[in-house]
Structure 1
Amino acid sequence: MNEEQLRRMHEDQGFIAALDQSGGSTPKALQQYGIQENAYSNEEGMYDLVHAMRTRIIKSPDFNSDFILGAILFENTMHRSIDGKLTADYLWEEKGIIPFLKVDKGLADLENGVQLMKPISGLDDLLKQAVAKNIFGTKMRSVIKNANSEGIAAAIKQQFEVGKQIAAAGLIPILEPEVDIHSPDRSESEKLLKQEVKKHLAALDTKTKVMFKFSIPVEDDFYRDLMDDPHVVRIVALSGGYSQAEANEKLLKNHGLIASFSRALAEGLSAQQTDAQFNATLSASIKAIYSASIT
């Protein structure tokens, strides 16, 4: 555990950049960036292109520790390099940005109003690799579609069980039980979620630290009380399908909640832009998301 990274993540201002689109969502991320599927012929070619996109983002001048606390990487990115340094080392040593790793393997089918995580095969080995490559923490996502108490209890239980395994390996887990922003009973889902989270936090041993990634809640400052729990390093928010402007507007009303945006961060970026255009677009996004994250 890097104590300086832990202090920075707990105390400093900024947000987390989510650069963790994986196999299933990478074609969509590239398409949004202006690269069509006919531009690559296999998975390796696809990952080369997405790494080039992420490298361009990471090396952009305002992608730095003045605004950004951390960045979440996909497993493939963890094994790749930027300017001869492994991506995690480049982030921390050159940019002062804390590296995280997405560890889940996608979502199971909908059951009891939720999509649990698929089993994470080889997790212990992946965590060893992450520690060896100087990763600080991890992220894993499940999705809540309806206010089903049994389903939500199962989702939170699974998140904490895997989270404890990750913490035991010396990493800080980001637990992400996303509540679908289109859910018809979203407010009730968030109440059930928080109730379960509090129950599991109370049962953690004193040394275990966790983070959470939640949808921006219906009720402003809804997660404020969880931020004071001694186990909680930070609570971050996903954009969840909102445009960047909408997500920032909602985030502003939630004090202490910081962004961890993926699609909303990359909004407006294109492979066809000149470096000057690309950097100006990204800079404006970074500064707007930062401003929304420091209330």
Structure 2
Amino acid sequence: MKNRERYIAQLNRMHSGKGFIAALDQSGGSTPKALAQYGVQESSFSNDEEMYTLVHEMRTRIIKSPAFDREYILGAILFENTMDRKIDDQWTADYLWEKKSIVPFLKVDKGLADLANGVQLMKPISNLDELLTRAVERNVFGTKMRSVIKEANATGIREVVEQQFAVGLQIFDKGLIPIIEPEVDIYSADKAKSEEILKEEIKKQLDLLGKEVKVMLKLSIPTVNDFYKELMSDPHVVRVVALSGGYGQDEANEKLSQNHGLIASFSRALSEGLTAGQSDDDFNTKLGKTIKEIYAASIT
């Protein structure tokens, strides 16, 4: 029963809590870049295991920081290697929820396929069922998976949304809440047009869902303010969150604050300015300032 109670508490927190989601889920290819931004050079590690240990230390430092507080942060997205490691002898997901009241999510995609029809679909997720089983055992609440839309190509966008919802249903059937993330490239020449097509395709898929099915949506901050408002009121949608998509921290916050009800799920914009060499005081002060600014933009 404990897990059912935990699930209901987490669902309520994600649906109506004030705050945002911290995306701590850079994986494989983007890990060296995340470490370099943090001031840890590639010469500091000689294989993947050492690299993942260093990135887990960085994430542990963020999660354990007093600035990383439930008052501002609703959830955190982990990647598989982080889920399978511990913080102070507790699985990361348990530490997040039991020590911090922060809802744990898991990134499940395996990266992007090559560009076709103006989009990048997700690569097949070969071990998805096994991964979801482990996520349930580790007390994870939900998942996240990303596709990318580069052009306003109706066929490509439909394929992206159909793939996201098909995998999302498989995830929901395992007892987890999927975050569906069809990112529109912020540098796309026809971003607003892509968003119009995307919204229609999402609405079509939401209309096909069974009454009990719940999903979250993670979308690029739209060109037209409040463009996703009607998706927020759909009974299937727990929450609509925004990615920073390559905007710097200040610009991402500025754009986000103009979209009412849209909350952040930032990764790069969250860790901007944090370095391994900072004293704990400096690190916590910088993180605290960043978190408060993202929070303020998320509660508009």
TM range (shorter): over 0.9
Counterpart in 2 of 1:3?
8
SS in 2 for 1:230: coil
Between the aligned partners of 1:212 and 1:201, the Cα distance in structure 2 is: 11
Q: CA deviation at 1:64?
A: 1.3
Between the aligned partners of 2:295 and 2:31, the Cα distance in structure 1 is: 25
Alignment partner for residue 88 of structure 2, among 77, 83, 87?
Answer: 83
Counterpart in 2 of 1:135?
140
Between the aligned partners of 1:201 and 1:225, the Cα distance in structure 2 is: 12
| Cα deviation digits, residues 70-106 of structure 1 (max 9, x gap) | 0000000000000000000000000010000000000
Q: CA deviation at 1:62?
A: 1.5
- 1:195 paired with 2:207, answer no
| Cα deviation digits, residues 53-81 of structure 1 (max 9, x gap) | 00000001020110000000000000000
Alignment partner for residue 254 of structure 2, among 249, 256, 260?
Answer: 249
Q: Counterpart of 2:171 in structure 1: which amino acid?
A: I
Q: Counterpart of 1:65 in structure 2: which amino acid?
A: R
SS in 2 for 1:173: strand
Alignment partner for residue 33 of structure 1, among 33, 38, 48?
Answer: 38
Percent of matched pairs sharing the same residue: 68
- 1:154 paired with 2:154, answer no
Please, what is the CA RMSD of the aligned residues?
0.5
Q: Counterpart of 1:247 in structure 2: which amino acid?
A: A
Over 2 Å off, 4+ runs: none
SS in 1 for 2:181: strand
Between the aligned partners of 2:67 and 2:8, the Cα distance in structure 1 is: 25
Counterpart in 2 of 1:223?
228
Q: CA deviation at 1:260?
A: 0.2
TM-score (norm 1): 1.00
Q: CA deviation at 1:206?
A: 0.3
SS in 1 for 2:159: helix
| Mapping 1:172-187, distance limit 5 Å | 172-187=177-192
Between the aligned partners of 1:249 and 1:263, the Cα distance in structure 2 is: 15
TM-score (norm 2): 0.98
Between the aligned partners of 1:273 and 1:42, the Cα distance in structure 2 is: 25
Q: CA deviation at 1:122?
A: 1.1
Counterpart in 1 of 2:122?
117
| Cα deviation digits, residues 208-229 of structure 1 (max 9, x gap) | 0000000000000000110000
Counterpart in 1 of 2:49?
44
Q: Counterpart of 2:83 in structure 1: which amino acid?
A: M
Between the aligned partners of 2:139 and 2:190, the Cα distance in structure 1 is: 40
- 1:67 paired with 2:72, answer yes
Counterpart in 2 of 1:272?
277
Q: How many residues align?
A: 295
Between the aligned partners of 2:127 and 2:48, the Cα distance in structure 1 is: 21
- Check the 8 A contact 2:24/2:76 in 1, yes or no: yes
SS in 2 for 1:272: coil
Between the aligned partners of 2:37 and 2:194, the Cα distance in structure 1 is: 31
| Cα deviation digits, residues 155-181 of structure 1 (max 9, x gap) | 000000000000000000000000000
- 1:260 paired with 2:252, answer no
